[in-house]
């Protein structure tokens, strides 16, 4: 984008009636204690112990000795603390990729969202693999080694894979009462001033209005679709505005997807292509039947249904199920070339309940022969959805997961009910954060 082009600023959302409760800010006057950092925990923090009590400490690395300020002593069983000085550094420590999130800054002034930015990339991925492996062992009874793969540079044009910056195509900045713009501080809802946003793709980093004021706004959303110009959208509350909503186009290989500008799309520039490839590779051809009642649950605008369709051809029968009516409308249009594709607006739990109650013998048989892709939000599919799926007994499931603990819980539920974890991949779709994406195939064994 030419440097002198003005960003588009548009009003986008209506004020919400009941603002979300603001979390209590971490204490800034807690005691400073010395800690030996033992291991990584889920959530981007690390486990240490102080006088027998667990302390979850941020901005550290296992093996380090740090001085940390206690920011939360409210719980009996554990405290929370933030590193303020590294006394013995890990060989995997590096300059933070976001200077303002460095341990040199006071913890309450460090922006959130890059909690692994002080760790070399290979170690970040190893730590994410440990979290996933540990969750699967504890919650699903599965012992597996997990390698977290970086995004293939061929799938993420313009992204610096080396240091994990320049990948975010969506970003929300918050606006304070004085109209100033900035990210939230880590583990808090206070807005902190920053001069850069290094995780954003270059065109968003250039547009981020970090010195500007936006009186009346509550947030600023930045969106950089892979096709077309990036946009800045002023948010005045939580709710989408009624009436017409602008749409954008995203490209994945040769395929194009239309969606609402404020609709869900994978955030990393290379994520949609990475997941497309992963799903195509994980569906087992021997188990796949194009005429079965195949599904893409939590389907968004049809990305993963298209992945299946592109792999198995135009005879594929597949239904996407998505709770957002606008996304379903787009999915219907995005998949319109496949005669066997259908897009349904429904909550997955209710949809499966109706399927179970309303299917005759022939449809039941097609469901047993089916391949089900599911890509739920962070909370995972949950017990009810797992139980309904097991009842329908599809041959294979390809589960795309962005939360290791919710995923491991669901794998455990599937395993108790006659499915096995057949193959597992993991991808670093959120470099410099603690997040990791897993893609797994589960197969019916009974």
Ligand X SMILES: C[S@@+](CC[C@H](N)C(=O)[O-])C[C@H]1O[C@@H](n2cnc3c(N)ncnc32)[C@H](O)[C@@H]1O
Mark the binding-site residues for S-adenosyl-L-methionine, compressed into ranges.
Answer: 266, 298, 322, 375
Helix, strand, coil: what percent of the chain each, to 5? 25, 30, 45
407 is a contact residue toward ligand X (CB under 6 A)? no
DSSP states along 268-282:
BTTHHHHHHHHHHHH
d(CA 190, CA 374) in angstroms, rounded, equals 35
Residue 327 lies near ligand X (rule: CB under 6 A): yes
When binding is defined by CB under 6 A, the residue of 72, 323, 340, 364 that contacts ligand X is 323
Q: For residues 264 and 271, is the Cβ–Cβ distance under 8 A? A: no
Q: Does 324 bind ligand X (CB under 6 A)?
A: yes
How many CA atoms lie less than 13 Å away from 413 in the CB half-sphere? 18
Which sign does the torsion angle of CA 429, 435, 440, 444 carry?
Answer: negative
Of 107 and 302, the one with the shorter C-beta distance to ligand X is 302
Q: Which residue has the tokens 């796949």?
A: 288
Using the Cα atoms of residue 424, residue 428, residue 430 and residue 432 in order, give the sign of their dihedral: positive
- Residue closer to ligand X (CB basis): 324 or 356: 324
Q: Which stretch binds ligand X (CB under 6 A): 29-37, 185-193, 233-241, 259-267?
A: 259-267
Which segment (126-134, 167-175, 188-196, 323-331) binds ligand X by CB under 6 A? 323-331
Q: Is there binding between residue 113 and ligand X (CB under 6 A)?
A: no
CA pair distance 93, 401, nearest whole angstrom: 28
Residue 24: count of CB within 10 angstroms of its CB: 10
If one asks whether residue 348 binds ligand X (CB under 6 A), the answer comes out as: yes
Residue selected from 71, 266, 334, 432 as contacting ligand X according to rule CB under 6 A: 266
Q: Does 380 bind ligand X (CB under 6 A)?
A: no
Nearer to ligand X, 79 or 430 (CB): 430
Q: Compute, in degrees rounded to 10, the torsion defined by CA atoms 226, 227, 229, 233.
A: -60
Minimum Å gap between C-beta 267 and ligand X is 10
Torsion sign across C-alpha atoms 30, 36, 38, 44:
positive
Residue 387 interacts with ligand X (CB under 6 A)? no
By Cβ distance, which residue is nearest to ligand X? 300
CB of 402 to ligand X, least distance (A): 6
The CB-of-272 to ligand X minimum distance in angstroms stands at 7
37 binds ligand X, rule: CB under 6 A: no
- Do 134 and 43 form a contact (C-beta atoms < 8 A)? no
Candidate list 59, 375, 403, 410; residue touching ligand X; CB under 6 A = 375
Which residues have a catalytic role annotated?
402
Read off the DSSP letter of residue 316: -
Distances (CA, A) of 343 to 305, 329, 395, 396: 10, 7, 22, 21
Give me the helices (H) in 253-317, please: 271-282, 303-312
253 binds ligand X (CB under 6 A): no
- Terminal Cα-to-Cα distance of the chain (whole angstroms): 55
Using CB under 6 A as the binding rule, whether residue 347 contacts ligand X is answered as yes
**Rounded to the nearest whole angstrom, what is the least distance from the CB of residue 313 to ligand X in the complex?**
21
Number of residues that bind ligand X (CB under 6 A): 17
Nearer to ligand X, 24 or 347 (CB): 347
Nearer to ligand X, 182 or 299 (CB): 299
Quick check: 246 binds ligand X (CB under 6 A)?
A: no
Using CB under 6 A, which of 303, 306, 316, 421 touches ligand X? 303
Q: How far is the CB of 299 from ligand X (least distance, A)?
A: 5
Q: Does 294 bind ligand X (CB under 6 A)?
A: no
Among the listed ranges 34-42, 205-213, 264-272, 284-292, the one in contact with ligand X (CB under 6 A) is: 264-272
- Residue among 300, 394, 412, 431 that touches ligand X (CB under 6 A): 300
Does 399 participate in binding ligand X (rule CB under 6 A)?
no
The vertex-265 CA angle with 8 and 440, nearest 5°, equals 160
DSSP reduced 3-state for 182 = strand
Q: How far is the CB of 298 from ligand X (least distance, A)?
A: 3
| Smallest gap from residue 446 Cβ to ligand X (A) | 27
29: Cβ–Cβ under 8 A, 6 or more apart, which residues?
none
Give CA–CA dist 84/108, Å, rounded: 11
For ligand X, the closer CB: 100 or 262: 262
Of 115, 221, 260, 322, the one binding ligand X by CB under 6 A: 322
CB of 304 vs ligand X, minimal distance in Å: 5
Name the region of 90 (left: φ>0; alpha: ψ -120 to 50; beta: rest). beta
The DSSP secondary structure of 204-227, one letter per residue, reads HHHH--TT-B-TT-SEEEEE--SB
**Chain residues that interact with ligand X, rule: CB under 6 A:** 264-266, 298-300, 303-304, 321-324, 327, 347-348, 375, 377
């Amino acid at each position: 984008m030419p440097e002198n082009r003005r960003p588009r600023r548009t009003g986008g959302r209506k004020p919400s009636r009941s603002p979300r409760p603001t979390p209590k800010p971490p204490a800034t006057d807690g005691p400073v204690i010395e800690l030996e950092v033992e291991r990584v925990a889920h959530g981007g923090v690390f486990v240490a112990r102080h006088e027998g009590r667990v302390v979850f400490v941020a901005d550290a690395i296992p093996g380090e000795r740090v001085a940390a300020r206690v920011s939360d002593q409210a719980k009996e069983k554990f405290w929370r603390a933030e590193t303020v000085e590294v006394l013995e550094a890990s060989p995997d420590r590096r300059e933070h990729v976001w200077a303002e999130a460095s341990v040199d800054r006071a913890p309450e002034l460090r922006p959130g969202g890059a909690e692994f930015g002080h760790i070399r990339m290979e170690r970040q991925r190893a730590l994410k693999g440990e979290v996933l492996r540990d969750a699967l062992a504890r919650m699903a009874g599965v012992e597996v080694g997990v390698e977290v793969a970086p995004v293939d540079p061929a799938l993420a044009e313009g992204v610096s894979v080396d240091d994990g910056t320049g990948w975010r195509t969506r970003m929300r900045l918050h606006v304070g009462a004085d109209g100033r713009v900035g990210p939230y501080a880590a583990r808090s809802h206070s807005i902190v001033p920053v001069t850069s946003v290094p995780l954003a793709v270059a065109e968003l980093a250039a547009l981020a209005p970090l010195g500007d004021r936006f009186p009346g706004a509550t947030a600023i959303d930045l969106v950089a679709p892979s096709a077309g110009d990036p946009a800045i959208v002023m948010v005045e509350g939580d709710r989408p505005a009624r009436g017409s909503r602008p749409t954008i186009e995203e490209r994945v290989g040769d395929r194009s997807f239309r969606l609402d500008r404020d609709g869900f799309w994978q955030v990393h520039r290379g994520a949609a292509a990475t997941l497309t490839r992963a799903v195509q590779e994980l569906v087992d051809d021997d188990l796949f039947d194009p005429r079965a009642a195949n599904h893409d649950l939590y389907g968004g605008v049809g990305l993963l249904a298209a992945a299946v369709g592109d792999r198995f051809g135009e005879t594929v029968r597949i239904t996407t199920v998505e709770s957002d009516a606008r996304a379903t409308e787009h999915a219907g249009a995005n998949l319109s070339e496949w005669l066997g594709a259908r897009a349904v607006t429904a909550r997955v739990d209710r949809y499966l309940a109706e399927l179970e109650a309303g299917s005759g013998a022939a449809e039941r048989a097609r469901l047993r022969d089916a391949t089900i892709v599911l890509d739920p939000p962070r909370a995972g599919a949950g017990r009810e959805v797992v139980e309904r799926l097991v009842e329908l007994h599809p041959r294979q499931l390809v589960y795309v997961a962005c939360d290791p603990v919710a995923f491991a819980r669901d794998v455990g539920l599937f395993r108790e009910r006659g499915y096995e974890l057949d193959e597992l991949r993991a991808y670093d779709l959120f470099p410099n954060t603690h997040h990791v994406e897993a893609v797994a195939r589960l197969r019916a064994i009974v």
